Structure 1
């Protein structure tokens, strides 16, 4: 029955995955475009310090924290089709509100709504994966979902500049990207569908509440592991490109990190076919990412900087599939339980990241970009250290 349902739904599953992938990718484009346009936005709203400007990005982050906590409840109440549609709609509505904002606080509110929609989206990837895709296909789909934001980052780096030159103002530029998200939002009702949330292997599972999740130590170690990588990644995309602290152009290095992320995701798909353990991939990728970060920040050789940047991207995204497979492979997992776990995971990860990101902004104001980037680099080590606290859900060989 289960295999037949997955087979019957395979065409619809591909369409659902495609719409969700590009919706989240263009959420990333909107976010990064806003960060790229930070100088113009600061001038427009008469902001004086970089720490104040970080509230623009942190508005999205705070919204994502709230949205992550509420995602499971919204999914259960609205069911998948409406819940995912709500996330997409909020991304569009928040983008439009930010573009039309006459005052800074309204701009921040728009970014808040946008972040809330993104929060729902990133949580809903996992229940969609375990419902529509057979276990042997999940590593591939997880890898694609994991790189969606990075694809958005590449799109942003390639087209934000030309769009700004074409449309001239930050409002028109951000409106252009909001329009793309609007098209994806309008496509969702024709593609999305509802499915059972509390069923595992054909049987109805016990209800798993947020309280149950908070009592499980796994749900604390899991986001702690990821938070350092998340902080490092957001800093590399949003602060590093304007830092001017490396041997060659920082924007070039950021783009190489993004392309390395795509390569890392492709490698993750290939690796998942022959290697079925999760923790070794997380552990050694995490260590390599941090070490290559040290090299990129401190070498005076441009070629080494470029190699290190690409390697950071590879080792940042290679282990993401292994990381998100762990909760999917826990015993008696259902879409509803997985949504609760992933909602808490993203919320706690972003709580840690948002605090550290703001502190990095304060440090940059006082001591310069190098000091702020060093904090991000130290934080990245949580990915390596946390791998010693997580359970191994993989197996030694293919069954």
Structure 2
């Protein structure tokens, strides 16, 4: 290996490290803000929890708008400035929320922060296909897919102690904003631009002149099937984070099962990395995990046996994260794929996935109001079957052997 290759490899690893922790601590900051909701409402003299729904609605809007805008921002600013902007918006939104004199300012700050996170997550894929070889992409994709979950695990460990140490909600959120600021500065030092229209699928990395617009992308059924396939997993994940902890419907406490699911997500990432070394097909992984996810979800919510509930929870954590790498690999492995084209595909992917999830979440909430938590949770499990259904509509881009 030449000295130049070693330098490029080290830079790629540093870039991945900075991006991973930027998004992980975005999750920590976000969860910290959610944990502090009672203190924040008291500070702004809000007596109705309905006011807190403004944050949820603004976040949903920020995610969808940010996903759609990501490709345009990347094209105009190029990778270093575009990714830096996403990191800066996460930081700036957090600080604006901290300094907000009124509640509307806090909501706008959370919107800006959510917009930054939505833009940032889209940029993982073009960075992966530019800096990493086909052999290492499954590993990097697996790590990126679990970044938010790692942030969630960190939040469980540190948010409580930080709140106790800093006393005020502003001080607690500022603590995490400082970390985001350090990571933003790290990106300014390590980030760099690269060609957006160079094909990653050929050894010569030829420049592709094809103009791939959003209209072109939306005319391809693949760009509808991919987010549909993932939307059920995303919906189930959001339900486990927001509704399941307060449901009290399972044989073991929902908090315990939630921790087991989160731990399963970490081990699922490790399994994905190991699996990528010996198995190179994409669709069967999505299909099998999608089917088992639905089955294990039904088991966890209906069983009267505590041991089965724990095993099901652990399996759910694994089955949610193992297929995500295969989903991300499929667009990366399509013929003549470029960073610019992939950014549009992933922007559409995340935007449509969140649109479907938002509609599904509303339906689940309505069912809970009418029929109770069990009916709503079972509905979420049924919706998770989109992973199994969508697998029959996706192209197979993997190989039978390495």
Q: Settle same-fold status: TM greater than 0.5.
A: yes
Provide the C-alpha distance between the structure 1 equivalents of 2:43 and 2:256, rounded to a whole number of angstroms.
27
- Verify: 1:89 aligned to 2:66, yes or no: no
The CA deviation at 1:301 is: 2.8
Q: Deviations over 1:337-383 (max 9, x none)?
A: 11111111111111111233344445555654434333322221111
Paired residues of 1:143 and 1:268 also in contact (CA < 8 A): yes
Partner of 1:179: 178
User: After superposition, where does 1:38-117 map in structure 2 within 5 Å?
Assistant: 38-45=37-44, 46=46, 48-49=48-49, 53-117=52-116
Find out whether 1:272 has 2:271 as its counterpart: no
1:339 aligns with 2:338: no
The CA distance in 2 between the partners of 1:160 and 1:115, in whole Å, is 19
Question: What number of residue pairs does the alignment pair up?
Answer: 395
Deviation, 1:149, is 0.8
Structure 2 unaligned spans of 5+: none
Q: For residue 247 of structure 1, report the CA deviation from its aligned partner.
A: 2.1
Corresponding residue of 1:223: 227
Of 258, 263, 284, the match for 1:259:
263
Which residue of structure 2 lines up, in the alignment, with residue 126 of structure 1? 125
1:66-93 deviations in Å (ceiling 9; x for gaps): 1111111100110100000000000111
TM-score, normalising length: structure 1: 0.93
Which residue number corresponds to residue 37 of structure 1?
36
CA-atom RMSD in angstroms: 2.0
Distance 2:238 2:307 in 1: 24
Q: Secondary structure at the match of 1:330?
A: coil
| Secondary structure of 1:193's aligned partner | coil
Q: 2:396 aligns with which of 389, 392, 396?
A: 392
Does 1:233 pair with 2:221? Answer: no
Q: Which residue of 2 aligns with 1:311?
A: 315
Q: 1:12-33 deviations in whole A, cap 9, x for unaligned?
A: 0000000000000111112222
Partner of 1:356: 360
After the TM superposition, which residues 135-214 of structure 1 pair with which residues of structure 2 at under 5 Å, given as runs?
135-200=134-199, 201=202, 202-205=205-208, 206-214=210-218
The residue matched to 2:256 in structure 1 has which SS? Answer: helix
Could you tell me how far apart the structure 2 residues matched to 1:9 and 1:157 are?
35
Offset of residue 224 of structure 1:
0.5
Q: CA deviation at 1:110?
A: 1.2
CA–CA distance in structure 2, aligned partners of residues 239 and 157 of structure 1 = 17
CA 1:242–1:78: 2 relative to 1, 3 Å: same
- For the residue of structure 2 that corresponds to 1:204, the secondary structure is coil
Instruction: Please give the TM-score of this superposition, normalised by the length of structure 2.
Output: 0.92
The answer as to whether partners of 1:198 and 1:207 remain within 8 angstroms in 2 is no
